[in-house]
Amino acid sequence: MAKFAVCLSILAMASWAVAEADIDDIDTHVEVSGTLGSDTHGEVEDNDGLTAIAPGSVDAQLEGDSELNVLQVNETLDFPAFVQSFVGCQCEQDEGSKPKWKCSGTIAYPPEVSGNECCCCGISCHPRNRCTNKQCLVIGVDQGPEVAAEQAAWDKLMQGADMLIGEDLPGFIVELEGTGQCTRTRIMEACKKKSLTPLCDHNSYSTTKECYTPAKSGNVFFNRHFSHWAGHRQYFGIEDDYLFYGMCFYARNGNWALAPCNGDSHCWTNGNSRLSPNARVLATGQVNNVYFNDMNNAKSKEDGGNGNWRTMCVKEQPNVVR
């Protein structure tokens, strides 16, 4: 990734070089936008972009016979598809199962967006780092139709869900009824009332055939806990992780459940452990540092609590994954 980031910087420098060149000498007009090329592998339909001034092959470049073709570098070194961003931006792909681009810094060029916070265009860009349609049009990228199609597909999939677990499992946050300690029974009752199934905290608990697990041998959920951040939930790629603090999850230890506690760990709900959210969670301003007894009593946020216990439910039927 570091090497690719360097490549992006070099490409951005090349774009600046185009700006300084006498583009009247180029047969086809090159729009100096700072965009780093196509969002997909393969042929480019026109000559707008860096490849218009980079003819030749890698071998020829090594022999000093011609200039380097950016697309040929991409194919030779098997880089991911180029990000569509601006001069001055440093972009990297995240490490999710379907990597998305994220860009940082301040846009340096073109003038219409200079000084804006860096972003990128198209569905290959992370939604929270995506430029507006107006910004993208400045560099000739019309992301409107594909982003609208992506949003429609998302709305259809989620249908009122609170978060997406993995690539295709909508999760619903459900509050437990009444007050008291979080138990497996209360979790099942809360999900059943919504015609949903409890999410298994760990695939080993699925053997009761009362909860659902998205774990499969070899995927990120296999043999990992939803209630535990360090070494477990941190690999799930779920946005807004603060939502997990104050949740309890279906487990199997008598009638007790598991809940995040002590910062990055988890605890059984039959004790009075403290949430102790770490700095990452506290920085959101969404979670108060309380004891389990505060959750048992549904202490309100206005009084310094986090409300009642909540759990995660899904639409799928119980399954078994050992």
d(CA 191, CA 104): 41
Task: With a cut of 90, say whether residue 69 has pLDDT above it.
Answer: no
Confidence class for position 17, pLDDT limits 50, 70, 90: very low
25 pLDDT exceeds 90? no
Mean pLDDT of the chain: 80
90 falls in which pLDDT band (50, 70, 90)?
very high
pLDDT (average), residues 86-91: 96
Q: Please write the tens of the pLDDT for every residue from 172-188.
A: 999 999 999 999 999 99
Q: Give the per-residue pLDDT at 58.
A: 32
pLDDT score at 49: 32
| Model confidence pLDDT, tens digit, residues 105-132 | 999 999 999 999 999 999 999 888 999 9
Position 14 pLDDT exceeds 60: no
Sequence-distant (≥ 6) Cβ neighbours of residue 251 within 8 angstroms: 184, 201, 202, 205, 227, 257, 258, 268
pLDDT per residue over 135-163, tens digit each? Answer: 999 999 999 999 999 888 878 877 889 99
E-state strands within 20-100: 87-93
In this prediction, residue 243 carries a pLDDT of 96
Residue 30: predicted pLDDT: 30
Rounded distance between C-alpha atoms, residue 316 and residue 85, angstroms: 39
Q: Which residue has the higher pLDDT, 310 or 16?
A: 310
In 62-74, which positions are buried (b, 16+ CB within 10 angstroms) versus exposed (e)? eeeeeebbbbbbb
Round to whole Å and give the CA distance between 25 and 225. 61
Task: Note the pLDDT tens digit of each residue in 227-276.
Answer: 999 999 999 989 899 999 999 999 999 999 999 999 899 999 999 999 99
| Short-list 182, 156, 160, 183, CA closest to 173 | 160
Q: What is the pLDDT of residue 96?
A: 62
Beta bridge partner(s), residue 90? 104
The count of C-alpha atoms lying within 13 angstroms of the C-alpha of 322, restricted to the half-sphere facing its C-beta, is 1
> Of 91-95, 278-282, 287-291, which one has max mean pLDDT?
287-291
For the chain, the structural domain boundaries read: 2-151, 163-314
Tell me if 275 sits within 8 A of 260, measured CB to CB.
yes
